[in-house]
Structure 1
């Protein structure tokens, strides 16, 4: 079966489940994992600007898209000619069913189940002892954060952080002043590439707060990725155990 994936984390999951470059024939330029395998797969544009002609030339049997990451009109245009599965992952349960569904589609049920068990295991082990109020920023100019109907929010909650913007939805714009309640401000490494200098900028307003860069992939890449973040989450949690109390 020839597959085109329009979603970076799903591309990674397909290879993790054991598909090869012979089966995954197209990907976006943001599909960067696993590096040594995706380099042999044709690029069909970005997640938001899909090159439909390139996809047609690949003649895939199946296209995997995502409600949030891809543009509705572009996905609908592909549906005229191809079988398209549109995924929507907002919770850890959604992610469980995504992997189950991929496992079934590609006859990799056992592998999908192992990844699902590992993800639950990783998230169960990564728990802070007391709830810490957190703000998680994904963008700058303007600052943007995450509401409660996002996958990132669910991961934060799962490991013991209380999102101070949980009364909001999707990805609201906020001001620096809105961060006052947060005990920790997390600056995600993606989609905006926050760096040390951005920590310094916020320190001018909040010299006493813990402000840190976090791995955006660990929090936002659904699919199989979290199963590989055990060490990352352990280190993150231990950082809070030591510095926070």
Structure 2
């Protein structure tokens, strides 16, 4: 699965990131949603659909005041198939990067509607808002989010000198992101060019600190997720590599959906 959201004409047909066609739910139709994507669980709540959410992963932690009452069905990759079956969902929301294809195929055997998402660039959020808004008949709320997104996007001009950064998501082994990822595209909007590995074409490559190309990196960013880097990690690494190391909020820079609106504000205020 490597598709991305299509253009406006495709959105008129309610086509998701995998090419599946969808229809708006009918008036009075029962809607029971299981979401396996933390950022989209938050988006569904912001669209006013919390009453239709019947299942979420343990990583779906926002909005805290709402999700605590929604049953957990495992993680993003190790879901409890039978628990989901008993919830009798009508819709399943998944993501190409975050969920395992074999698991999604098993769930699709008994869940009528599977909506596949895969935002790669920040502006793909607009299509995501409108797709979910149209399927679940919350178009007005979706458009309100689109307007908020456009406002923050316009403010996020690359008015700083272009700097090359290394965004770290894991250690033992050390891992980063490629330039063809949501995180890298968001950073680039602000003028921060993600380092590109010459040794790996993977979206989330492993790297070694002795790679000579890292000499051109101006700053290292340690993300608080998926690995929980902390202030001490940043201090220790800075002593090791003799470069600026900044701890950054991973949710703000990697979560798409409605969190992206806060994320752009966060990035604008981040001093790198």
| TM-score, normalization by structure 2 | 0.82
The residue that corresponds to 1:175 in the other structure is 208
The residue that corresponds to 1:195 in the other structure is 230
SS of structure 2 residue aligned to 1:97: helix
Structure 2 counterparts to residues 64-103 of structure 1, below 5 A: 64-82=93-111, 83-103=113-133
Q: Name the Cα RMSD after superposition.
A: 1.6
The residue that corresponds to 1:15 in the other structure is 45
C-alpha distance in 2, partners of 1:36/1:161?
A: 34
C-alpha distance in 2, partners of 1:234/1:76?
A: 39
Q: Does 1:5 align with 2:38?
A: no
Structure 2 counterparts to residues 87-236 of structure 1, below 5 A: 87-126=117-156, 127-165=158-196, 168-178=201-211, 179-207=214-242, 209-229=243-263, 231-236=265-270
Q: Which runs of 5+ in 2 are unaligned?
A: 1-30
C-alpha distance in 1, partners of 2:44/2:183?
A: 21
The residue that corresponds to 2:91 in the other structure is 62
* CA shift for structure 1 position 232: 2.1
C-alpha distance in 1, partners of 2:229/2:247?
A: 7
Which segment drifts farther, 166-175 or 99-108?
A: 166-175
* CA shift for structure 1 position 204: 2.5
* CA shift for structure 1 position 231: 4.4
Q: Which runs of 5+ in 1 are unaligned?
A: 241-245
Deviation track 1:84-106 (CA, whole Å, cap 9, x = no partner) reads 11111211232221111011011
SS of structure 1 residue aligned to 2:161: coil
C-alpha distance in 2, partners of 1:112/1:210?
A: 39
Which segment drifts farther, 28-37 or 221-230?
A: 221-230
SS of structure 2 residue aligned to 1:153: helix
C-alpha distance in 2, partners of 1:73/1:161?
A: 36
